[in-house]
Amino acid sequence: MEHQALDRAFALEAVRVTEAAAIASAGQIGRGDKHEADRVAVEAMRRAFSILPIDGTVVIGEGEMDEAPMLYIGERLGQGGIAVDIAVDPLEGTNLTAKALPNALAVMAMAEPGTLLNAPDMYMDKIAIGGGYPAGIIHIDADPAENILALARAKGVKPGEITACILDRPRHSHIIEKVRSAGAAVRLISDGDVAGVIATTDPATGIDIYLGSGGAPEGVLAAAALRCVGGQMQTRLDFQNDAERERAGRMGITDLKRIYHLTDLASGDVIFSATGVTDGWMLAGVKRSPTHITTESVVMRSATGTVRWIKGRHRRKPE
């Protein structure tokens, strides 16, 4: 596949997919039903994909084929055309949307076939920082405090000026303790670790490093974004039982202890798109007026390093 063809077909078209999912799910903000918020996002994203000139295969989705109407792993999308692998999270932050909390996003990535890790839907340990640092200054097996100190040295600041983003889960209590023992601050988030990883790339967020375990599919989506804007990321699948190990084997994963670096998760030419559902660090959420709906999105491409922020004004259809 030629990079020019990928760019011509998708660089600006991709955002329509996440806009559609964000607009649909925004109607569920604060209504307390995360499942309905996810359902309408999935349906809207599927419809948006259906008109694209692609032969797309979902490699990161929301479930298996028998779990439809989710966008399931192996589902084919598009009208036919250029072959692409697709990673989706129609609503990254279902709880955030249901509770009207910040940082809910509609997210997707498209890439050349075979260049996105076909990650099983399970936990993944993650560590990530933004761009501009020497390679190898962080390591997933290092003590969290050691990673904080190494990052502070590379940044030329005291550890007290470092802030780590961590999902607020009991399983992370030891990480939180280690980070704070090194003198760094912790910003806890309730959900949405794609946004948490991407936040490390933008100084305006105040986030320097992401630590902890979250979903493996979200790890691949976050890696797709980092490929476009720069950064470092290491991950390892965190198996909870034998069933997960067997499923990973069926998906072609043989080294269960492997450390996945950024280009192991997402390589080749990648296009990443996200649209805000609720207001967040990176994007404003969906806003409604009597006549229009406003969205804010970001679309990135790894081959060129281009990042575009797109504010859309959509005419509301009569109800």
Q: H-helix or E-strand containing 187?
A: strand 185-189
Task: Write the pLDDT tens digit of every residue in 84-119.
Answer: 999 999 999 999 999 999 999 999 999 999 999 988
**Average pLDDT score over residue span 249-257:** 87
For 18, residues 6+ apart whose C-beta sits below 8 A from its C-beta are 45, 105, 106, 107, 108, 273, 274, 275, 297
Q: Does pLDDT of 65 surpass 50? A: no
Closest CA to 49 of 79, 85, 72: 79
Q: What is the pLDDT of residue 69?
A: 56
Note if the bond before 69 is cis, omega within 30 degrees: yes
Q: Where are the beta strands (DSSP E) in 25-118?
A: 54-60, 76-77, 82-92, 105-111
Q: What is the pLDDT of residue 8?
A: 54
Task: Write the pLDDT tens digit of every residue in 259-290.
Answer: 999 999 999 889 999 999 999 988 999 999 99
Q: What is the pLDDT of residue 3?
A: 45
Closest CA to 272 of 226, 236, 210: 226
Q: What is the pLDDT of residue 303?
A: 86
Q: What is the pLDDT of residue 7?
A: 57
Q: Looking at per-residue confidence, does 159 or 3 come out higher?
A: 159
Cβ proximity of 49 and 61 under 8 Å: no
Lowest mean per-residue pLDDT among 65-69, 147-151, 183-187? 65-69
Sheet holding 260-261, edge to edge: 185-189, 163-167, 209-215, 123-130, 231-238, 260-261
Q: What is the pLDDT of residue 64?
A: 54
Can you say whether residue 20 is alpha, beta or left, with left for phi > 0 and alpha for psi between -120 and 50 degrees? Answer: alpha
Q: What is the pLDDT of residue 31?
A: 97
Q: Looking at per-residue confidence, does 209 or 72 come out higher?
A: 209
Q: Does pLDDT of 62 surpass 80? A: no
Q: Does pLDDT of 216 surpass 80? A: yes
**Average pLDDT score over residue span 142-157:** 97
Where exactly does CATH 3.40.190.90 map onto the chain? 123-265
Where exactly does CATH 3.30.540.10 map onto the chain? 3-114+270-315
What are φ and ψ of residue 294, in 5° steps? -110, 135
Q: What is the pLDDT of residue 129?
A: 97
- 29, two tokens: 């903000």
Q: pLDDT band for position 225 (50/70/90)? A: very high
- 138, two tokens: 């962080």
Write down the CATH number for the domain with range 3-114+270-315: 3.30.540.10
Arithmetic mean of pLDDT over the chain: 91
Q: pLDDT band for position 73 (50/70/90)? A: confident
Rounded Cα distance, 232 and 154, in Å: 13
Write down the CATH number for the domain with range 123-265: 3.40.190.90
Q: What is the pLDDT of residue 118?
A: 85
Rounded Cα distance, 133 and 77, in Å: 38
Q: Look-up: residue for tokens 């939180």?
A: 176
Task: Write the pLDDT tens digit of every residue in 160-190.
Answer: 999 999 999 999 999 999 999 999 999 999 9
Q: Does pLDDT of 40 surpass 70? A: yes
